[in-house]
Structure 1
Amino acid sequence: MSRFETEVYEDNYRESWSHIFEADPGEADKFYLNVAYPYPSGAMHVGHGRTYIVPDVIARFWRMKGKHVLFPMAFHVTGTPVIGISRRIANGDEKTIKLYSELYRVPADVLDKFTDPDEIVKYFSSEYERVMRACGLSIDWRRRFTTVYPQYSKFIEWQYLHLMDQNRVIRGAHPVKYCPQCDNPVGDHDLLEGEKAEIVKYVLVMFKWGEYTIPCATLRPETTYGVTNLWINPDVVYKKVTVDGQKWILSPEAADKIRLQDHELTTEGEISGSELIDEKVLHPFSGEVPILPATFVDPDMATGIVMSVPAHAPFDYIALRDLQKEGRYTEIVPVALINVKGYGEFPAMDAVEKSGIKDQNDPGMETLTQEIYSAEFTSGRMLPQYGGQPVRVARDEFSAIMLEQHGSMAMYDFDVRDVMCRCGGRVYVRILKDQWFLKYSDPEWKEEVHEQIGKINLVPAEVRTEFDRTVDWLKDWACTRRVGLGTKLPWDKNWLVEPLSDSTIYMAFYTIAHKLVNLEADKLTPEVFDYVFLGKGSPADLPLDEETISDLRSEFLYWYPYDFRFSAKDLISNHLTFQLFHHKALFPEELQPKGMVVFGMGLLEGAKMSSSKGNVILLEDAVQEVGADTVRMFLVGSAEPWQDFDWRKELVSSTRKQIERFWNTIHEGAESEESYPVDRWLISRMQERIKNANICMESFQTRQALQEAYFGIESDLKWYRRRLPENVRSSSAVSEISSAWIRLLSPFIPFTAQKLWEITGNEGEVAFAKWPVPEESKTDILLELSEELLERTVEDVESILKLIQIDAEKIVLIIAPDWKRDVFDIIAKSENRKKVISEIMKDEEMKKRGKDATDAAKQITNLIHRFPPELTLRIAENRVDEYSVFESAAEFLRHEFNLPVEVVRADDYPGKKSGQALPFKPAIVVE
């Protein structure tokens, strides 16, 4: 199969497949799957390819199983990402221009238009569709839409009016991610860096220094009694500011943050950190403590000044230890606050000294800190003089006391550095007063979603815990933005629904998208959607004619609810959980989602893929270099969908060779009409491969399915060819299994499968051919076991010959006696193999054999432990005449080893070696 041939037939089929996957309601059972729609702001890479190819493989499988399959696609363009990109390009940002001109290879005349965000959307949504078609995705493209279509906006309006009526959308003051440059809240999809950043709530502990307050941010207010000093960076120039009428000292970065968090802040002057060294500050809980120098203090972390609790914070302990080693501040002694099992009076000191940490730059410090904090929070108790409560209780109590009585207040910051908007500006935490929020904190709503999570088929099952955890910690979500693309909030036109909040139930929109695009948006009133999705009202009272509205309702009910949704595991914490909340709020029980498959992440040669860093392989480049089928087979077969995969050039190249071997084998089979005794074995093995591949596909184990459908069959063929006469490579049996083999691989490599389907004399599209079904009449378990026995014995002989390395004259195979086979059967079928030997020895015949029977039982038990369980069961249920197997294969064995092979029964062979003969493992003597 030359590269030229691959390109030709792939191109031909892309054109002919343009409309064949369009799905309309029918009499067959439906299978509706969908995948998170892409945000088309750059070229697709192979990571994107896997996201869409895996569900395509599943769609093709169920289509061949007789299901009526719907696999739709759309493009998510709302929000600010494309606006940020267009601004950076308009401002001449060299990094952005280089990314789009060099990595994404946008033509210069097109790139010039990217100052208009609509041009970015138009260009890349078309590119995505073109590349998806190039990959052979079996999508119903009639249903394509973008999230700025007026018909889609009407759908979003309908959704939010219902949420407002249910009091699930509220107005309030909440901390949100905010870009001052865009003057807009931002979501994860709006971020260039820091997509995983979470907002952390600190308590500001207010230390007094003369007329100034020096606030220190902490997540552990219960440790304030143990503060021995403050840390300040002597190299930083701090700000003297007035915050809500009080004089504070903050780092410049902290001043910018506080200003955005509902405080009035004015700058009065500056003071160097070095000027504050050795000054004394006061707090009611800690008393008077000094300010000490620490260059490790990051001015961009919270307030830029840190309180030190060396008894319970490893960083504080080691920093103080370093100073005291210099003979400084030796009078400072840690103050113990918390008793925690496994640690002494000062847990931080214990942990640092036992771990052999040398200094605060040791990479192990971060892990050590988390270990101490976690241990103290989960099992620590405050000492009696500080209340004696568990730390988890004391934390909230101390926080409340400090906020109410000691002037403390909350400050919000991110748990990571460098959170950047796609516009290129820095993102901060801001308190917004007039923002609209989805009330995900509602305990009743949470409980409904928890209950639904228990009913959904989740793949892999272990992600259920992650979904439940997300529901538990999820807080109110800012669902609107001031600027960007999207739908205006129907009751407050000053706001737009943000991207993650307008992409929660679009799976329902897919069902009728192709019919709505031809309707006037103004006629899509909330009452229309009420009837279509909920069956409320009467068609006679709606602005659409009765036939149209009934058709929309019928189409929706045929497809919904969706059967499976595919998306990446990093979306569990937002989108995938959000859509469960919204489905519960809007749809009845019978229309709730039925299943989800959660993907692992993608690596490139072992490193995380990143478009912004250029560490990607563009999907189109990969398709052009090795062919769509190679890309598909590698992405689906290199790991299970929920596992991380690693794109490695060497492995991709070997995948192409595998497809070539498949091509050549089918061609060889088509040219051969000869038959041989071993043919029945190959045909029987195919039935097993079909059964196993089907089980795997139904469980979304695409990698294991490919192991059966390709590598398993190839392995069978390898043995089969060894059993054929010399210089014979194919037969009528290969021709007979070709149809099933082509169909098994069709979901994975549809272009190659279609070409071979035609070459082997079949008509129509293999994509709609019947998925193979194992035929019981063609299954021969005894024959399969016979060949298994033969193959295993050949491997054992080869190992012995390689090990002894002598000039052998003959090979003797000694077959175990029937009584050992009886022992094998008893042990194999026993539920308690530890006691089975004693049970065997109660048999009168075995008693007579004495030690021989005991030894045999032990040997057979060890042998069974080395066998796969399914093989053990097969052997026990089907007694193979081992002597006949080897006698009939004597010529084959002689040819394999170029030596005479003698087959004897153990009772007829003198010497101790005969005692080693076991069922399904003859003793081997090389003479």
Structure 2
Amino acid sequence: MDHDRAEGEALNPQEYTGLKMEVTQWSEAAKSSDIQSKLAGRKAFLVAATLRPETMYGQTNCFVGPELKYGVFAVNEKEAFVCTLRAARNMAFQGTFDVQGQVNQLFEFSGKDLVGTKIKAPLSINPEVYVLPMESVLATKGTGVVTSVPSDSPDDFATLTDLKKKPEYYKIDPSWCALDPVPVISTPTYGEMIAPALVKQLKIQSAKDAKQLAEAKEVAYKEGFYNGTMSIGEFKGESVQDAKPKVRESMIKGGVAFPYAEPEGLVISRSGDECVVALMDQWYLDYGEPTWRAQAEKLLAKMDTYGSETRNGFEAVLAWLNKWACARSFGLGTKIPWDSQFLVESLSDSTMYMAYYTVAHFLQDGYDGGKPGLLNIAAEQMTDDVWEYLFSNGPFPSSTTIPKASLDKMRHEFDYFYPFDIRSSGKDLIPNHLTFCIYTHVAMFPEEKWPLSMRTNGHLMLNGQKMSKSKGNTLTMRESIEKFGTDASRLSLADAGDGIEDANFDEKTANANILRLHTLITWCEEMAGPDTKLRQGEKNFHDGIFETEVNNLINITKGHYDNYNFKDALKYGFYELQSARDWYREVTADVGMHHDLVQWWIRVATLMILPIAPHFSEHIWSTVLKEPKSVQFALWPEITKPVDRTTIDAGVYMRDTTKTLRDAELSLLKKMNKGKGGQAPYDPKKPKAVRIYVATKFPEWQDACVQIVKETYDAEREKVDDAQVRQLLIQRGMIKDKKAMPFIQAFKKRITEFGATTAFNRTVPFSEVDVLKELVPYLKRTLDLVDVEIFFVDDASTKEGPGFTKNIIESAEPGSPAFEYRNV
């Protein structure tokens, strides 16, 4: 059962065909170990686990791992199997050996001692083949013994080719690998020799070309299974899909094969033991049943998963999920009504408890359930008929002793809360518990009660590392609260990440959040106090920018909260909100911030961070803002005016221009400090001014490139035809312009990022000159400038004198002004 595993959740049994290959002649190394006396008259069989029984007609040899350990295990008094101990343990619990669960090892070999052994190859046109070495055989998959069909397996063909080329290097007799591939399956694409054809096509040189061989293996299997026809054997002419189960059944009936299963990967129990697949009495839930599956797929199609990864995960599980073992004989759980010796295993039994949540408080007091709940109902009174009445609109149970008013109260509660709006859980539960929840709800409830959404998350790492008790890298919720406080912990958890990828709780971030909260509290207290000296009266240009930006952040943050994207909600509703305030404070330092906007900002900041940092919000709301009721009664902040995109763009333009001007000066200072200044255009340490050049139109060559992109853009496919772009560049004599293609590539990225409509609309929606004039006082103050002059490119290009550099002036573009500093 999945929840009984320490490792390997969601791994299922992998079913093989166990092929019995009787030893007819032992290798010299095996003979020298007195193997016959140890067998005590038993026949010995090398046992291979194959997923492709239909190809056994083409066996040319058998492979073992030369460095692996192999045991000879007594099956009964007449037979012994040669395989790995891991495989023998699985077989012992599947009815293969005489005594269930008992492994009797008679002898142990190394793989190299088995090389040269001659065996019978069931079904093969080569009745006897030799055991040969293969370095890639794994002890953790199958039985450690691999049948070789070089006509259909690229790995087998590549290894056999290597052995034929260098038999002396591999210490084998050339006659052991002398058999050629045998045609088994015919395909339209690769003929009757799939593996040799793929090895040639992919230019595979040896068995060490693991990446190419993995690709070839996948192609060979799919091509053979879906498009192949049998070329040999009892089912010649039939499709491989039809013949495969028939060949397997025939071999098992003939006594040369048997069913074998093992875990798909490593599964470790909570006791630390490696798990096996056991054959035992079991009840199954038939999740793959077509009608039931169709209902589950219908629910998934309607349900919000908050991301494509989660939806893809559910779709993949629904595609393969079939019969699921749902019973166990020990532990806690519900007894299976028709077979009371078994309990329903936990993952299958815990998929409807969300429904129980709606009425739990009426039935029990607290988690232990020792006391009756609000309606004083005993457990034995909750019969099947009562639950039918509550959850399935069934008739009122005439035999019940519970008052109808009490049942109606519970029924109303269930109807009010169901369907549940969201189920939030770990991504590792998609393959079992969450998919079972979907199946159970479509089986038990009408469509109007089906779940509305499920959201999954990754695991939580600590400081970029997986949490591990053995390494001491753990942090409990209690420890985090004691160390960082509740709200700093919650901020850091929100910042850790929301997606299906693993989130990371960073203790440095948590520490920084303590200081951030205290700093913000202090500032709010100062601004809400009586001596703030904030500006009153009419609002100016920067007030309007700030108010619009805050309104925009209110909208963005709400959208992220609605989608449970707490990291982005924190980014825009906390960090970006403070960044907007910081810019507003700086840009209005000469006149001061507006009193009403600051008070409004404090309220907005308090409400937007409330879901993540409720204690901080409560303190600001009640203590600083003196509100009579708790912040928990407050509504989401309302937008004070419609968000104007032009105003938002103007704000971004101001910050970008300031940053560009500042970065240019810092870059020059850095070069001068390193002695790399050369002929510097000005001395940043002396009094300086700046000239800013505003362009009203783009260069003609850029407009020509944009026109070419526009003509080749396919709106339906949302894609630019690169071949047509090249043709038009040639036709219009622009193909040799080194600036054209890089500009076009950058413009294509802009289309992807902002959409075609925005990208092709290359006009600036505001007056750059007017915005720059409003910015001049701030630029003078923050960059220590004596003067700031603003020119249109067309006017500046005709001027002469110091500071008017033609190539700088001509580099200006709409929305991206050029500038040059000069000393005064």
Give the TM-score band, short-chain normalised.
Answer: 0.7 to 0.9
Task: Please state if 1:510 is matched with 2:375.
Answer: no
Matches within 5 A, 1:139-538: 187-209=1-23, 211-232=43-64, 236=69, 238-242=71-75, 248-265=81-98, 270-273=106-109, 276-282=114-120, 283-285=122-124, 286-292=126-132, 301-309=141-149, 312=153, 314=155, 317-318=158-159, 321=162, 324=167, 325-331=169-175, 332-333=177-178, 335=181, 337=183, 346=196, 354=204, 358=208, 365=210, 370-380=214-224, 385-386=231-232, 395-405=244-254, 407-417=256-266, 419-433=267-281, 435-517=282-364, 518=372, 519-538=377-396
1:800 is displaced (CA, Å) by 3.3
Give SS of 2:283's match.
Answer: strand
Q: Which structure: larger Rg? A: 2
Distance in 1 (alpha carbons) for counterparts of 2:338 and 2:813: 81
Question: Letter of the aligned partner of 1:544 in structure 2?
Answer: I
Larger helix proportion, structure 1 or 2? 1
1:236 is displaced (CA, Å) by 4.0
Give the alignment partner of residue 773 of structure 1, picking from 638, 643, 655: 638
Aligned residue in 2 for 1:905: 792
Distance in 1 (alpha carbons) for counterparts of 2:758 and 2:522: 35
Aligned partners of 1:310 and 1:348 also within 8 Å: no
Distance in 1 (alpha carbons) for counterparts of 2:582 and 2:781: 16
Matches within 5 A, 1:675-694: 675=535, 677=540, 678-694=542-558
Higher mean C-alpha displacement, 240-249 vs 697-706: 240-249
1:575 is displaced (CA, Å) by 0.5
Distance in 2 (alpha carbons) for counterparts of 1:240 and 1:465: 44
Distance in 1 (alpha carbons) for counterparts of 2:44 and 2:88: 15
Deviations 1:138-184, CA, capped at 9 Å, x for gaps: xxxxxxxxxxxxxxxxxxxxxxxxxxxxxxxxxxxxxxxxxxxxxxx
Give the alignment partner of residue 689 of structure 2, picking from 786, 810, 818: 810
Distance in 2 (alpha carbons) for counterparts of 1:352 and 1:260: 42
- TM-score under structure 1 length normalisation: 0.69
Distance in 2 (alpha carbons) for counterparts of 1:905 and 1:611: 66
1:394 is displaced (CA, Å) by 5.4
Question: Letter of the aligned partner of 1:415 in structure 2?
Answer: E
Aligned partners of 1:631 and 1:652 also within 8 Å: yes
Aligned partners of 2:154 and 2:213 also within 8 Å: yes
Give the alignment partner of residue 455 of structure 2, picking from 597, 605, 613: 597
Distance in 2 (alpha carbons) for counterparts of 1:646 and 1:405: 57
Distance in 2 (alpha carbons) for counterparts of 1:541 and 1:422: 45
Question: Letter of the aligned partner of 2:599 in structure 1?
Answer: S
Change beyond 3 A, Cα 1:584–1:315: same
Deviations 1:542-586, CA, capped at 9 Å, x for gaps: 231111111111111111110111111111110011011111111
Distance in 1 (alpha carbons) for counterparts of 2:702 and 2:149: 67
Q: Of the two structures, which has the highest relative contact order with CA contacts closer than 8 Å and spacing of 6 or more?
A: 1
Question: Letter of the aligned partner of 1:242 in structure 2?
Answer: V
Aligned residue in 2 for 1:70: none
Deviations 1:608-648, CA, capped at 9 Å, x for gaps: 33457654332322222122222222222232233321233
- TM-score under structure 2 length normalisation: 0.77
Question: Letter of the aligned partner of 1:204 in structure 2?
Answer: G
Unaligned runs of 5+ in 1: 1-186, 359-363, 837-850
Change beyond 3 A, Cα 1:489–1:857: closer
Question: Letter of the aligned partner of 2:683 in structure 1?
Answer: D
Question: Letter of the aligned partner of 1:616 in structure 2?
Answer: T
Deviations 1:790-815, CA, capped at 9 Å, x for gaps: 22222222233345553264211233
Distance in 2 (alpha carbons) for counterparts of 1:866 and 1:406: 67
Give SS of 2:402's match.
Answer: coil
1:589 is displaced (CA, Å) by 1.1
Aligned partners of 2:481 and 2:489 also within 8 Å: yes
Task: Please state if 1:762 is matched with 2:612.
Answer: no
Change beyond 3 A, Cα 1:810–1:320: same
Give SS of 2:492's match.
Answer: helix
Distance in 2 (alpha carbons) for counterparts of 1:786 and 1:472: 51
Deviations 1:732-773, CA, capped at 9 Å, x for gaps: 532221111111011111121222222222233323320112
Change beyond 3 A, Cα 1:877–1:279: closer
Change beyond 3 A, Cα 1:790–1:372: same
Aligned partners of 1:781 and 1:878 also within 8 Å: no
Distance in 1 (alpha carbons) for counterparts of 2:663 and 2:504: 34
1:293 is displaced (CA, Å) by 5.5
Aligned partners of 1:231 and 1:292 also within 8 Å: yes
Deviations 1:494-531, CA, capped at 9 Å, x for gaps: 11121111101111000000101122111110001000
Aligned partners of 2:73 and 2:88 also within 8 Å: no
Aligned partners of 2:710 and 2:760 also within 8 Å: no
Distance in 1 (alpha carbons) for counterparts of 2:22 and 2:701: 85
Change beyond 3 A, Cα 1:866–1:549: closer
Matches within 5 A, 1:464-863: 464-517=311-364, 518=372, 519-611=377-469, 615-671=473-529, 672-675=532-535, 677=540, 678-725=542-589, 732-758=596-622, 759-776=624-641, 779=643, 783-803=647-667, 806-807=682-683, 809-817=688-696, 832=710
Give SS of 2:47's match.
Answer: strand
Change beyond 3 A, Cα 1:822–1:374: closer
Distance in 2 (alpha carbons) for counterparts of 1:922 and 1:593: 54
1:289 is displaced (CA, Å) by 0.9
Aligned partners of 1:828 and 1:864 also within 8 Å: no
Unaligned runs of 5+ in 2: 25-42, 365-371, 669-679, 715-733, 799-805
Give SS of 2:174's match.
Answer: coil
Change beyond 3 A, Cα 1:295–1:345: closer
Fraction of identical pairs, as percent: 25
Higher mean C-alpha displacement, 317-326 vs 205-214: 317-326
Aligned partners of 2:18 and 2:50 also within 8 Å: yes
Aligned residue in 1 for 2:36: none
Change beyond 3 A, Cα 1:290–1:694: same
Distance in 2 (alpha carbons) for counterparts of 1:376 and 1:754: 65
Change beyond 3 A, Cα 1:664–1:198: farther
Aligned partners of 1:467 and 1:572 also within 8 Å: yes
Aligned partners of 1:540 and 1:546 also within 8 Å: no
